[in-house]
Amino acid sequence: MRFEIFTLFPAMFESVLGESILKRARERGLLTVNLHNIRAYATDKHQTTDEPPYGGGGGMVLKVEPLVRAVESVLQGESVPVILTTPQGERFTQRMAADFAQYPRLAILCGRYEGVDERVRALVVTHEVSIGDYVLSGGELAAMVMLDAIARHIPHVLGNAESAPNDSFSSGLLEGAHYTRPPDFRGLRVPEVLLSGDHGAVARWRRESALRRTWQRRPDLLLSAPLSEAERYFLGELAEMWARSKDSQA
């Protein structure tokens, strides 16, 4: 999969692209990330990329010409989703990451300052995406978050093909608890079932751990998670236990 990233600060991406899973994916040819400096597409002698907005009001706005020229000259008319990172966009989710990973090529425009000239949206942007309800100094960090989350869905990027579907949210639930050696640390023991070698029992325990954690932390996810009858029963029991413990505290 190929990413075209348009930014005023390409160097911000270096460490993220040069480590761990993204580094390996690039080395193996599974992921290509082309960084395009928007400044290189400015035409005036000062290479201006931002200006104060019409009507005043402070802040700086990214100019339309360099951005549109950059995107059009890189994409060459190819039909590619162009994502603008902005706090006004649709909230980024695991579902969206999986959907974007289906495209062979994706462009991300990193917003900056107060925003971008509205005409950029009309001319080149196909999606506006926010990574959460807070304001970053620029879209670069948001682009890196999306790039990482999308890359995890590209086949063979993760060592174990099972990992992405098991990630929190992919199954509709949060991930449950994990343990590794030693079996006892300061008296905190790993649950016996995980040491038992009984794969069926381990899978059941994992699913229950995920259900319990989701019920405790993100009960809203349970409304849309695909659950079996037995899993609904398990959640009912959790709720009853919780209600009884409340009663005994009262």
Residue owning tokens 């706005």 = 61
Please choose, from the candidates 239, 231, 237, the residue with its C-alpha nearest in 3D space to the C-alpha of residue 206: 231
Active-site residue (options: 114, 128, 148, 231):
114
Residue owning tokens 């402070």 = 58
66 versus 139: smaller Cβ distance to ligand ADE: 139
Q: Is 27 a catalytic residue?
A: no
Q: Is 167 a catalytic residue?
A: yes
Contact between 139 and ligand ADE per CB under 6 A: yes
**Binders of ligand ADE in range 168-207 (CB under 6 A):** none
- Span near ligand ADE by CB under 6 A; candidates 80-88, 171-179, 209-217, 242-250: 80-88
35 versus 238: smaller Cβ distance to ligand ADE: 35
Residue 36 has, within 13 A of its CA and on its CB side, a CA count of: 21
Q: Is 87 a catalytic residue?
A: yes
Whether the CB-CB separation of 209 and 217 falls below 8 Å is answered with no
Using DSSP's 3-state secondary structure scheme, residue 205 falls into helix
- Span near ligand ADE by CB under 6 A; candidates 11-19, 62-70, 133-141, 165-173: 133-141
Distance in angstroms (rounded) separating the CA atoms of residues 42 and 39: 5
Residues making contact with ligand ADE (CB under 6 A): 85-87, 111, 130-132, 134-136, 139, 142
